[in-house]
């Protein structure tokens, strides 16, 4: 794939605030465009297909894997896949924008491996595991079982934070967005 722009990857354990930070960056910077990920997970009530995610069933997702449609993909939870479609990347670059990704930790490392120095990998973390647990619990989207599964996965993902280019601690959302914005502008050499 010919690189036509830069990529910004924002990754974090679930509940650390990566999606809120990505939204903040998109509001601040018109030179960024969001890469909508594909997934097989169930759509939440507030989500819009094609805007929040491209929702596929497992068979459709597997067909896209077989067709080579993904830059990267993985099974994040049992029978729940996420991935980045080449079509998303090409569409964004055709509009002369830099891509911003909101992905899980392993997906971020895979994207960095593909784009090397044309990629800024940001790891977002909550100030503590307790804060992370509290945020997930207060979202009211998790069962006791899924909450424990996400916390267990978060503990594993935190071990990868030092493989990222930069770490942003999300204790105050506005400060974290400003910190991430400065890192993005420095990377893209935009004043």
Whether 45 is in a domain gets the answer: yes
Whether 2 is in a domain gets the answer: no
Q: What is the mean pLDDT of residues 57-77?
A: 94
What is the tens place of the pLDDT at every residue in 95-138?
A: 999 999 998 898 899 999 999 999 999 999 998 888 877 877 77
Confidence (pLDDT) at 1: 64
Whether 137 is in a domain gets the answer: yes
Whether 27 is in a domain gets the answer: yes
What is the tens place of the pLDDT at every residue in 155-172?
A: 899 999 999 999 999 999
Confidence (pLDDT) at 3: 66
* Domain containing residue 86: CATH number: 3.40.50.300
Is the confidence at residue 22, as pLDDT, over 90? Answer: yes
Confidence (pLDDT) at 108: 94
What is the tens place of the pLDDT at every residue in 130-148?
A: 887 787 777 777 788 888 8
Cα separation, 85 vs 17, whole angstroms: 23
Q: What is the mean pLDDT of residues 82-101?
A: 94
Q: Count of CB atoms within 10 A of residue 59's CB? A: 8
Whether 97 is in a domain gets the answer: yes
Q: How many domains does the chain have?
A: 1
Question: 80-85 and 38-39 as β-strands: parallel, antiparallel, unpaired?
Answer: antiparallel
Whether 95 is in a domain gets the answer: yes
Whether 131 is in a domain gets the answer: yes
Instruction: Return the higher-pLDDT residue of 18 and 149.
Output: 18
Is the confidence at residue 11, as pLDDT, over 80? Answer: yes
Report the chain's terminal Cα–Cα distance, integer Å.
29
Q: What is the mean pLDDT of residues 54-73?
A: 96
> Which residue range is the domain that position 59 belongs to?
7-188
Whether 1 is in a domain gets the answer: no
Contact 128, 158 (CB under 8 A): no
Is the confidence at residue 191, as pLDDT, over 80? Answer: no
Mean pLDDT, rounded, of the chain: 92
Contact 109, 160 (CB under 8 A): yes
């Amino acid at each position: 794939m010919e690189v036509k722009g830069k990529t910004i990857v924002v990754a974090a354990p679930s509940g650390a605030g990566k999606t809120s930070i990505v939204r903040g960056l998109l509001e601040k910077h018109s030179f960024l465009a969001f890469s909508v990920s594909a997934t097989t997970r169930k759509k939440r009530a507030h989500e819009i297909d094609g805007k929040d995610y491209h929702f596929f069933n497992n068979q459709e997702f597997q067909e896209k894997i077989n067709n080579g449609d993904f830059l990267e993909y993985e099974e994040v939870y049992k029978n729940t896949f996420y991935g980045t479609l080449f079509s998303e990347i090409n569409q964004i670059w055709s509009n002369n924008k830099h891509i911003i990704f909101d992905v899980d930790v392993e997906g971020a490392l895979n994207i960095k491996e593909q784009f090397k120095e044309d990629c800024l990998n940001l790891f977002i973390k909550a100030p503590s595991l307790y804060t992370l647990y509290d945020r997930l619990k207060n979202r009211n989207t998790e069962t006791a079982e899924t909450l424990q599964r996400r916390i267990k996965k978060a503990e594993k993902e935190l071990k990868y934070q030092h493989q990222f280019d930069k770490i942003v601690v999300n204790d105050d959302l506005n400060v974290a967005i400003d910190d991430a914005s400065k890192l993005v502008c420095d990377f893209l050499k935009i004043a």
